[in-house]
């Protein structure tokens, strides 16, 4: 079986490539990635020579390149991770989010129709459901929760989800969709909360918490997400959406304090800065469907996962030091230089 993985040089895609090569050694994994600022070939270094793996640099919006690849590889399954993924960047410049996340999805599905596949899987996010209020801990996102997006990022992901479901209903394309909560783990790009805080804390730099830091996210170790997708593409029902999350809700401020504690850094590094525009308050997944239908449960507890993640960043300084020495500097200056610190107290 040949599995085409898009966005495999990014955070979750690369972890999925490693997962598949380890657990399905007789499959061929073809990774297509544009290598945007978020894609890093050094992430895939350990598998580049593996005969069961091929890397192709291409944009999923490039119809000619994608069709050529389908002709060459004739993939059985396509798993689409490729996306612009950072909410803050989508607030600054929504256009590329619509292009890659929606039109790129269309190009991939058109190729799937033309060449034939057994499954197209769309990697989506819980952010398509919008947010939940902090004072209603009894509420969770189910697959029936209405789409109600807040940011250009989540809107582009929701647009893609609707298109995927339309290709199933209209053309009979065998699709599945997973909507996962926030992931953390190795190879997480340091613009996102957890790796940014680890790296800043290690350098004794301010830890920029948006607003009061009371927003809640439902954190899942990346390997648990990869296992869920592996199950869905093999055993999930065509045309279905599966929510993926591990009931691990935490406030941002508590995550940042925990990182300080684990690294032996003072909480005085925490700097409350101007809030994100349209900032979602709480995400919380109800994973009953994937548990009941596919037997999926998260395996890594947050206490273990965050320790493994911190240890990974300590042991892999070369990986992130290379990233933060480049374009990241000007990104950081632009995003955080202009963000006013909030008054203390």
Binding mask 274-293 for ligand TYD (x = CB under 6 A): --x-----------------
- Among residues 7 and 75, whose Cβ is nearest to ligand TYD? 7
Clarify whether 153 is annotated catalytic.
yes
Q: Is 105 in the site for ligand TYD (CB under 6 A)?
A: no
DSSP 151: S
Nearest C-alpha neighbor of 224 from the set 169, 313, 299, 284: 299
Residue 81 binds ligand NAD (CB under 6 A): yes
Residue 111 and residue 62 in contact, taking contact as beta carbons nearer than 8 Å: no
Q: Return d(Cα 101, Cα 113) in angstroms, integer.
A: 19
Residue 142 engages ligand NAD in binding (rule: CB under 6 A): no
Q: How far is the CB of 345 from ligand NAD (least distance, A)?
A: 32
Q: Which residues contact 171 (CB under 8 A, 6 or more apart)?
A: 113
Tell me if residue 221 is catalytic.
no
Selected catalytic residue, list 120, 129, 153, 283: 153
- Interface with ligand TYD (CB under 6 A), residue from 192, 225, 227, 282: 192
Q: Does 60 bind ligand NAD (CB under 6 A)?
A: yes
State the binding partner of 132 from ligand TYD, ligand NAD, none, CB within 5 to 8 A by kind: none
Which residues, other chains included, contact 332 with Cβ-Cβ below 8 Å and sequence gap of 6+? 324
Shorter beta-carbon distance to ligand NAD: residue 193 or 260 = 193
Selection from 315, 125, 312, 301 nearest residue 224 by Cα:
301
196 touches ligand TYD by CB under 6 A: yes
Which residues fall within 8 angstroms of residue 15, CB to CB, at 6 or more apart? 185, 186, 187, 222, 223, 225, 226
If contact means CB under 5 to 8 A according to the sort of partner, which of ligand TYD, ligand NAD, none does residue 11 touch?
A: ligand NAD
| Number of other residues whose CB lies within 10 A of the CB of residue 23 | 11
Is 127 assigned a catalytic role?
yes
Query: What are the residues binding ligand TYD (CB under 6 A)?
Result: 87, 182, 192-193, 196, 208-210, 215, 217, 252, 276
């Amino acid at each position: 079986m040949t599995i085409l993985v898009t966005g495999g040089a990014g955070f979750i895609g690369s972890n999925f490539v490693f997962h598949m090569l380890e657990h399905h050694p007789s499959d061929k994994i073809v990774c297509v990635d544009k290598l945007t600022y978020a894609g890093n070939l050094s992430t895939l270094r350990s598998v580049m020579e593996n005969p069961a793996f091929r890397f192709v640099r291409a944009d999923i919006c490039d119809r000619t390149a994608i069709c050529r690849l389908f002709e060459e590889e004739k993939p059985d399954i396509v798993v689409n991770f490729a996306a612009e993924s950072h909410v803050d960047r989508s607030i600054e410049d929504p256009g590329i989010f619509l292009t890659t996340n929606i039109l790129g999805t269309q190009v991939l599905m058109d190729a799937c129709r033309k060449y034939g596949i057994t499954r197209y899987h769309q990697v989506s996010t819980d952010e398509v459901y919008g947010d939940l209020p902090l004072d209603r801990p009894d509420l969770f996102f189910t697959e029936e929760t209405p789409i109600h997006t807040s940011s250009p990022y989540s809107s582009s992901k929701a647009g893609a989800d609707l298109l995927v479901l339309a290709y199933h209903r209209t053309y009979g394309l065998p699709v599945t969709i997973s909507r996962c909560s926030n992931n953390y783990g190795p190879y997480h790009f340091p613009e996102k909360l957890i790796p940014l805080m680890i790296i800043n804390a290690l350098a004794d730099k301010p830890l920029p918490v948006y607003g009061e830091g009371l927003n809640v996210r439902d954190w899942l170790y990346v390997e648990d997400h990869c296992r869920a997708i592996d199950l869905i593409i093999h055993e999930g029902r065509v045309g279905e959406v599966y929510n993926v999350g591990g009931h691990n809700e935490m406030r941002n401020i508590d995550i940042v304090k925990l990182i300080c504690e684990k690294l032996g850094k003072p909480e005085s590094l925490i700097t409350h800065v101007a809030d994100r525009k349209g900032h979602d308050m709480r995400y919380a997944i109800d994973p009953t469907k994937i548990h009941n239908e596919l037997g999926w449960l998260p395996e890594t507890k947050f206490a273990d996962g965050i320790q493994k993640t911190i240890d990974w960043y300590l042991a892999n300084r070369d990986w992130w030091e290379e990233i933060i020495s480049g374009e990241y500097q000007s990104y950081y200056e632009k995003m955080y230089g202009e963000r006013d610190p909030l008054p203390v107290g």
